[in-house]
Amino acid sequence: MRPSTRPRPNGTAKVLMRWRGMGAILAVCFYSLFFSAHLRFQESPIYVRDGVIFGVASKTVFYDLSSGRTDDHRGIGVQHPAFTLIHQPAAQLCIKLWESLGQDLGGARKHGVAMLTCLAGAFSVVMIYHALLWSGSSTLRSILLSMCFGAGTCTWIISPLPQTWTFAGLGIACLIAVHARGSLARPIWHLLASVYAMCTFTGSIIPCLIMVLTRCAQERTQLGHINTKPLIVTLAAFTISFGLANLQRTIYPTSTPLPKSLSEWKNQHTQWQATPKTQALVSRQFFVSNIVAPAEVTSERDNTRAKVILSEPEWSALDLRRGLSGGWLLLLALAFAGLVWRAQIEPFTLGIISILMWNLAALQWYGAAETLLPQACLWSGVIVVAVGLGLERTLVHWQRLTLPVTLFLAVFVSALITRNWMFLQKVANVAGQ
């Protein structure tokens, strides 16, 4: 027999194949997980009423994605300037797919919209995995930390619901992933990630600028001069995003018009005034309970129905004595020890920290107390990437902790999935009352 002339893959090609395979496995697993949550939520009134679960505008977004081009699309605010243009055609394709599988129109609309949002959540998990891997984390810890993100309270509960913040979070995750890849990623991927991030949420303009500046600083350190190509790509992304936002107003004439002046943009401010209670609530939601669910579901009666809300900002509600929230705080502490040192020498790490600070500082512009959990899609992935960056540096310094920390992460992920699934079941039961 003649020997095969097919070239054997080199080491780099094998590693890339393994990365892609694991990304596909994570996508399938978490899409299934999110869609199972949708099946628990679909009988609740989330499709006929806004604010049933953590203030999510589920009815508004569901109607926007499942209705026709000339129907009313004013429910999506200008903070998401091209959301309808990008996602409504995709949602219509998903609805047609479910109709072809024998679903009636009502069921097809629910499943089609859920299919799109669950795919967005699953792709976010994959992007966080790649961001960790390409920034230097080990493969195993990248998998475990991305699973922490996917099984976290925010991602698992919000991804199955019709709303905009999962897509805004996907934009940030894509942005971080391509910049973690750096110059090894083609310019077109940097352009697409920036355009998508800006089109799904206008506040992502600042993270785009932060990441491109960190990339310029990193390339200056490596090459000895400033490469202007990343800046040009970001400028092109901003121009394209603005063009798509205007194109949406042409194709979807009933969508919310763009503000015509700076004063109109300022009027979009939520006027959310900070108090000691809101500070505690933000701190808890920013770092802990968006990953580890509280012990109990908090609800209140609204006319004839119950709606699920965030509980009062009492740290005892985190149930630290049972260990899961305390375990996450331990991981945050270990990560912080390495993150401070790493940020001094690595621009990418400094960029991640800057994005977190921006989200915290701008929360008064786009945030509100009742919608903190869905808006946590913007920073939950960034928190997990920061933990991964800090942990790797800590484990380099204290190598004896490598095996215990990795084992702890594996146990933590298992307990987190169990805890948050039980919390999700309770949320679904309360929302259905």
DSSP string, 3-33: PP-SPPP-HHHHHHHHHHHHHHHHHHHHHHH
Task: Please give the pLDDT value at position 369.
Answer: 79
Identify the pLDDT of residue 322. 60
- What confidence category does residue 7 fall into, taking pLDDT thresholds of 50, 70 and 90? very low
Whole-angstrom distance, CA of residue 156 vs CA of residue 31: 10
In the block, tokens 């949406």 appear at: 248
Annotate 341-357 with DSSP letters as a single string: HHHHH-HHHHHHHHHHH
Domain boundaries, the chain: 39-431
Mean pLDDT calculated for residue range 418-429: 91
Q: What is the mean pLDDT of residues 219-226?
A: 72
Question: CB-based burial of residue 399 (10 Å sphere; 0-12 exposed, 13-18 middle, 19+ buried)?
Answer: exposed
Helices and strands (H and E) in the chain: how many: 18, 2
What the block records as the tokens of 256 is 């919310």
Q: What single-letter amino acid sits at 145? A: L
The band of 5, judged by pLDDT with boundaries at 50, 70 and 90, is very low
Q: If pLDDT is split at 50, 70 and 90, which confidence band does 194 have? A: very high
| List of residues 6+ apart from 407 with CB closer than 8 A | none
Residue 351 pLDDT > 90: yes
| Identity of the amino acid at 360 | L
How many CB atoms lie under 10 A from the CB of residue 95? 23
| Separation of alpha carbons 62 and 397, rounded Å | 49
pLDDT value of position 267: 64
Mean pLDDT, residues 244-258 taken together: 91
Q: Which residue has the higher pLDDT, 272 or 56?
A: 56
Predicted pLDDT at 20: 62
**Where does the pLDDT of residue 70 fall: very low under 50, low under 70, confident under 90, or very high at 90 and above?**
confident
User: Inter-axis angle of helices 276-287 and 347-361, to 10 degrees?
Assistant: 140
Average pLDDT over residues 73-86: 92
Between 377-397 and 276-287, two packed helices, what is the crossing angle to 10 degrees? 60
| H or E segment and range at residue 412 | helix 402-431
- Could you give the CA distance from residue 257 to residue 253 in angstroms, rounded to a whole number? 9
Q: Report residue 104: phi and psi, to 5°.
A: -70, 170
433 Cβ contact list (under 8 Å, min separation 6):
305, 306
pLDDT recorded at residue 363: 85
Counting residues of the chain whose pLDDT is more than 70, the rounded percentage is 87
Structure tokens given for 321:
């004595």
> What is the identity of the amino acid at 362?
A
Interatomic CA distance for residues 363 and 261, integer angstroms = 22
Residue 10 has pLDDT above 50, yes or no: no
Q: What is the mean pLDDT of residues 319-347?
A: 82
**SS3 assignment, position 376:** coil
Distance of CA 421 to the CA centre of its chain: 19
Confidence label for 48 from pLDDT (cuts 50, 70 and 90) = confident
pLDDT at 21: 81
**In this structure, what DSSP letter does residue 288 have?**
T
- Cβ neighbours, 10 Å, residue 218: 20
* pLDDT beyond 60 at 370: yes
pLDDT band per the 50, 70, 90 thresholds, residue 228: confident
pLDDT attached to residue 184: 85
Split at pLDDT 50, 70, 90, the class of 226 is confident
pLDDT in tens, 123-135: 999 999 999 999 9
Q: Are residues 136 and 345 in contact, defined by beta-carbon separation less than 8 angstroms?
A: no
Out of 56-60, 192-196, 279-283, 290-294, which region has the weakest mean confidence (pLDDT)?
Answer: 279-283
